[in-house]
Amino acid sequence: MATELGVSDVLKARKDYNAALASAGRRERATWFPLALLILLTLLPALQITGGHNYTLHLMLYAMMYAAMASSWNILGGYTGYISLGHNVFFCIGGYFSGMILAYFGVTSLLTAPFAGLAAAIVGFAVGLITLKMRGPTFIISSIALLMVARILFDHWQFVGGSNGVALPQMDIPAQWAKLPYYYGMMIVCALTVWASYRIKHSKFGLGLRAISQDEVKAESAGIDTRFYKVLAFAISAFFVGMAGAIWGEYITYLRPNIFLIILVAANMVLMCILGGKGTVAGPIVGAVVLIAFNEFSVTFFGSSEINLLITGLVMVLALKFFPAGIVGTLAKKGRLPRVLDWD
Amino acid sequence: MLEVRALAKHFGGIKAVDNCSFTAEAGKITALIGPNGAGKTTAFNCISRTMAPTAGEILLDGERIDHLKPHQVTRRGLSRTFQITRNLEDLTVLENLVVQSKVHGWRALFEPAITKEELKKAEEILAFLNITRLAYEETRNLSYGQKKLMDFGALLMSDPKIILLDEPAGGVNPSLLAEIVEHIRALNGQGLTVLIVEHNMELVMSLSDKVVVMAHGEIIAEGPPAMVQTDPKVLEAYLGGTNVEPAHA
């Protein structure tokens, strides 16, 4: 027997269906996963009780640093659509800011990291006011120019050691536990960055940034102060990268321009975001883990040669062939994203 | 309400708009018409500040807005659509509407993307436009006509005093066009001022309280529809001569 449906019936059915989907989505969101991951990372240093896991801790610290930096870059590059290839300038500013305070006054970067982030954010805000007037390829080139200017500046600034750099004092801790303060420091920076990235994506500000990435003229005409939004996104993005730089500087006990100001550092942030899924919350973390894992794999099996760069390139080519919107982005579009990675 | 005084926009030696003056009175529907290349859309772009005028003054409720940025003009109560729909393709219809809401500045950092009040208001607008079913659809999946409707709905989210519609009938099928006309009439009935650029003369003559005609960047006629459509200068601008029958409304 055929059933006749009126327009209102269809609308009601559609509304019920959407409501059911929404509540199902809420039920299924695996918020426990990032929390479990955080607890696991907190407990990981316990391995040192048996000793000999310094390399594991180093690798995790390195991955957390890049996860934080890629997530931070994602706020500008992913949500707003402005590709910066000079973001390591803020990594450098953070590293030198805290490093010089440590060198001259003996205050650890674990305490000064937020101020280093603030210094990076202030510079980011000022730079953004100028460079964010440009769009597309012009902005990308301006970000590379920023990197080149910063490199020349730090190479010739004798107060911060010039191109020879400056050695930093180390904490008086037994080697077995020496990595722990920085490990936890970087973990906090990483957790804060990912949390901020999530909060921004779900805020009115984040919606504005996504609108800007789609069509800036339309966004401006919708009443969004696009310049303010972009500059603020740039500053926030610089803040977390600056904090990561502060902790990394003291951790490696040496500051030198060619550690911070090589384009590979910025390229890594970009590649990790593209690989994981630009504009998604979990994407940069997945990208950081996958790229670092493949890099370590190639170093382990092929030695410390440039083959790891070749393998990184190969991973990128294959990943983008099969995951054009990044791993998380593509799986989400196909509806195949594992629940544990659905952080958006 | 909206007053345009001696507006000019020059691109090098080309005077796209020149010495253009007219008013759009509060609560009325004013149409800006003219042949292709007359400067209508350029005038629209200058009024909404998407484009900086070369000279002239634009006043909204007696206050000059020609020095403001586009987002400031929108916040003062003047919202517009574009000739070719400009939508935020990756965003849902609901998000496209909410992005036009009034939360700005630092507050935007701490407000959720869609508040309960905005959701309620957006749902009312979507229901008014009969596109409730599309609320959670990504804009890229919409037809051109649906995008036009959504664009129209987005304008209403910011509680505008005046809306500028750039060719709302362009590329729209007749039934949807009738729907759009009804929506414009209904909103105008509630006191909303409308300035419209349109090529569909039937729509213009039936809908407008006043028609302003542009040709070669200048205003050549202005008045009630019945008067404008018999104006020899208008007929000449459209048809290249005066020896023709006037268009019927």
Decide if B112 and A224 are in contact by the 8 Å CB cutoff.
Answer: no
- Around Cβ B85, how many Cβ atoms within 10 Å? 20
CA–CA distance, B48 with B20 (Å, rounded to integer): 15
In a domain? residue B9: yes
| Higher-pLDDT residue of A31, A283 | A283
CB-neighbour burial class of residue A125 (10 A; exposed 0-12, middle 13-18, buried 19+): middle
Determine, yes or no, domain membership for B232.
yes
Domain membership of residue B16 (yes or no) is: yes
What are the beta bridge partners of residue B14? B11
CATH number at residue B235: 3.40.50.300
Reported as a single tens digit per residue, the pLDDT across A117-171 is 999 999 999 999 999 999 899 999 999 999 999 999 999 999 999 999 999 998 8
Alpha-carbon distance of B217 to A285, in angstroms, equals: 55
Cβ neighbours around A196 below 10 Å, total: 18
Residue B104 within any structural domain of the chain: no
pLDDT tens digits along A82-104: 999 999 999 999 999 999 999 99
Residue B103 lies in a domain: no
- Which positions in chain B touch A217 (Cβ < 8 Å)? 50, 70, 86
Q: What is the mean pLDDT of residues B24-47?
A: 92
Q: Chain A partners of B114 at a C-beta cutoff of 8 Å?
A: 207
B246 or B52, greater pLDDT: B52
Report CB contact under 8 Å: A15, B75: no
- Whether B161 and B1 have beta carbons less than 8 Å apart is answered as yes
What single DSSP character describes residue A50? Answer: T
Residue B241 C-alpha, separation from nearest chain A C-alpha, in angstroms: 39
Distance CA(A312)–CA(A291), nearest Å, equals 7
Q: How far is A299 from chain B (nearest CA, A)?
A: 40
Query: Among A193, A172, A185, A38, which Cα is nearest to A112's?
Result: A185
Q: Are A108 and A247 in contact (CB under 8 A)?
A: no
Whole-number pLDDT of residue A1: 40
B89 touches chain A (CB under 8 A): yes
- Do residues B47 and B208 touch, judged by C-beta distance below 8 A? no
How would you write B101-126 as a 3-class SS string?
CCCCCCHHHHCECCCHHHHHHHHHHH
pLDDT given at position A322: 93
How far is it, in rounded angstroms, from Cα A63 to Cα B213? 65
Interface-testing mutation among A9, A216, A221, A333, with chain B (most B C-beta atoms within 10 A): A221
The chain-wide mean pLDDT, for chain A, equals 90
Which residues of A are less than 8 Å from B50 in CB distance? 217, 220-221
Question: How far is C-alpha A253 from the geometric centre of its chain's CA atoms?
Answer: 23
Contact B119/A at CB under 8 A: no
Q: Is the dihedral of CA B172, B178, B179, B180 positive or negative?
A: positive
pLDDT at res. B83: 81
Residue-wise pLDDT for B193-205, tens only, equals: 999 998 888 888 8
Distance CA B194, CA A249 (A): 60
- Whether residue A222 and residue B135 make contact (CB cut-off 8 A), yes or no, is no
The answer to whether residue A114 scores a pLDDT higher than 80 is: yes
Residue B97 lies in a domain: no
Q: How many folded domains does chain B comprise?
A: 1
**By CA distance, what is A16's nearest residue in B?**
B133
Q: Is B190 within a domain? A: yes
CA nearest to A60, candidates A187, A213, A166, A150: A187
Residue A205, H or E segment: helix A204-214
List pLDDT tens digits, range A194-239. 999 999 999 999 999 999 999 999 999 999 999 999 999 999 999 9
pLDDT at residue A268 tops 80: yes
Indicate whether B67 belongs to any domain: yes
The conformation of residue B77, written as its DSSP 8-state character, comes to: T
Q: Give me A239's structure tokens.
A: 């803040």
Residue A300 DSSP SS3: helix
pTM of the complete model beyond 0.90: no
DSSP-based three-state secondary structure for A8: helix
- Domain around B42: 2-86+159-239
